[in-house]
Amino acid sequence: MNHSADVLVIGAGVTGAAIAYGLTKKNKKVVLIDAPPNPIDRSSRANMGLIWCQSKALGNRPYAEWNFESSKLFPELIPEIEELTGIDTMYKQCGGIIPTVGEADYDRRANYLKALDEEAKKFGATKDYPGEMYSRSQLEAHYPGVTFGKEVTGGTWCPEDGHIEPLQLMFALRLAMKRNGGTFLPHCAALDIARNGDSYTVHTSTGTIECERLVITAGLGSKQLANQFGINVPIYANKSQLFLTERIPNLLPTPLLGITRTDGGTVMVGFEHEYMGNNTELVPERLQHVANWAHTIWPAIAKLRVIRCWTGLRVWPKDGFPIYDAIPNHKNAFIFNAHSGVTLAAVQAKHLPEFILGGKLPKNAQGFGLDRFPADA
């Protein structure tokens, strides 16, 4: 079946769905397509649903502010899409904690937090950085039902962090886009992109789509699509290995980075980043390392049954920061790519549509163009 659109968005993960939803709010005819399920490239299934601002990003204050802005926009976005769709995203702005193990780790985190605060004030912040160090006793008071390991010395607390069910968020954004008049085409892979003046014809696995503006948000698949425009997008696969335990009472009302209780009561554990190409092999030794770390933090986790282990790949731009750009020498074509798609969903839904439609990126997002990478990146 053939379609036409003001804007075609290729890639319907959280990032693509958020942008498509934002475009429909501007009364544009939007088509959002997603390729058939690919077991190795499903970022929304390979993360813990954290909306995470703390620890980002010393040396790049605009990116830190971009994350905090997104966190502040979630209380606006979530009621909108939940009312449109009836889907409960299980969003909670509950804060977040990074536990520290040993005195050296505690001191390192404290120094890092101090440096973030100093940098923020150099950029004009009038308030202290939204985070603080927790002593072990404060950590124990925050989690009265948890007995922490003897090596745990405390942690860093940030009230701006939160948690959401990432698949529910993705489904809600897609459906909200449809309720606003957009078209969603699942199992529709973009195969060939042809330019017609300042518009585009995209041949897909299910038909042809004519569009005035084209947006590539296809995760790891963006690299191959961008090659059709003669550009190299320096993105890589970031492998996550996770495991899920049986259900427990709500002993963890606030996520610990790497140990998060879901709304269903299960506990999701995982924190490592591996760069092994498209290899999604489950490596028991690496999972054991993760489990040992979790046991150091919370020894009682060893009593819980593990009910599932899995791996997945998330996208990672070469320098870790988002890519937001118009494709050089191709009017009305854009590429967006970000590792923290869940955290940034709200700010991307609000601001990136304006850029697609001819406006400017906000100041905090203006440093994320392709021109920051050397030609051979």
Give the pLDDT of residue 278: 79
Helices (H), the chain: 14-24, 61-85, 102-122, 136-142, 166-179, 222-227, 284-297, 345-356
**Tokens 């980043």 label which residue?**
273
Q: CA 297 to CA 301: how far, in whole Å?
A: 9
Containing 324, the helix (H) or strand (E) segment is: strand 323-326
- Evaluate whether residue 138 is within a structural domain: yes
Q: What is the largest CA-CA distance in the chain?
A: 66
Q: What is the CATH number of the domain that holds 106?
A: 3.30.9.10
Q: CA 20 to CA 11: how far, in whole Å?
A: 10
Instruction: Give per-residue pLDDT as tens, 178-204.
Output: 999 999 999 999 999 999 999 999 999
Q: Is 148 in the same domain as 215?
A: no
Q: Which two tokens stand for residue 18?
A: 């958020």
Domain boundary among 272, 301, 317: 317
Q: CA 19 to CA 17: how far, in whole Å?
A: 5
pLDDT above 70: percentage of residues in the chain: 97
Averaged pLDDT, 269-296: 86
Q: Is 200 in the same domain as 155?
A: no
Q: Is 189 in the same domain as 308?
A: no
Give the pLDDT of residue 234: 95
- Evaluate whether residue 261 is within a structural domain: yes
- Evaluate whether residue 143 is within a structural domain: yes
pLDDT greater than 70 at residue 377: no
Q: Is 253 in the same domain as 190?
A: no
Instruction: Give per-residue pLDDT as tens, 35-53.
Output: 997 655 555 566 889 999 9
Averaged pLDDT, 326-336: 97
Q: Is 244 in the same domain as 308?
A: yes
| Closest by CA position to 252, among listed 305, 287, 297, 290 | 297
Q: Is 131 in the same domain as 223?
A: no
pLDDT band at 128 (very low <50, low <70, confident <90, very high): confident
Query: What is the average pLDDT score of the chain?
Result: 94
Q: Which contacts qualify for 357-363: CB closer than 8 Å, 24 or more apart? A: 357/23, 357/26, 357/28, 357/213, 361/324, 362/66, 363/62
Q: Which two tokens stand for residue 164?
A: 């959401």
Domain boundary among 281, 299, 317: 317
Give the pLDDT of residue 312: 85
Q: Is 241 in the same domain as 353?
A: no
Q: What's the pTM value of the predicted model, to 2 decimals?
A: 0.95
Q: Is 222 in the same domain as 276?
A: no
- Evaluate whether residue 89 is within a structural domain: no
Q: CA 328 to CA 336: how far, in whole Å?
A: 13
* Number of domains, the chain: 2
Q: Is 246 in the same domain as 360?
A: no
Residues 6+ apart with CB under 8 A from 146: 140, 251, 252, 298, 300
Instruction: Give per-residue pLDDT as tens, 133-157.
Output: 999 999 999 999 999 999 999 999 9
Cα-based angle 231, 234, 238 (whole degrees, multiple of 5)? 145
Instruction: Give per-residue pLDDT as tens, 55-109.
Output: 999 999 999 999 999 999 999 999 999 999 999 999 999 999 999 999 999 999 9
Give the pLDDT of residue 45: 64
pLDDT band at 25 (very low <50, low <70, confident <90, very high): very high
Give the pLDDT of residue 274: 76
- Evaluate whether residue 77 is within a structural domain: no
Averaged pLDDT, 220-249: 94
pLDDT greater than 60 at residue 207: yes
Q: Is 295 in the same domain as 337?
A: no
- Evaluate whether residue 275 is within a structural domain: yes
pLDDT band at 282 (very low <50, low <70, confident <90, very high): confident
Q: What is the CATH number of the domain that holds 356?
A: 3.50.50.60
Domain boundary among 280, 302, 317: 317
**Tokens 């544009």 label which residue?**
28
Helices (H) and strands (E) in the chain, counts: 8, 17
Q: Is 227 in the same domain as 266?
A: no
Give the pLDDT of residue 38: 67
- Evaluate whether residue 157 is within a structural domain: yes
Residue range(s) defining the domain that contains residue 178: 3-50+166-233+319-372
- Evaluate whether residue 101 is within a structural domain: yes
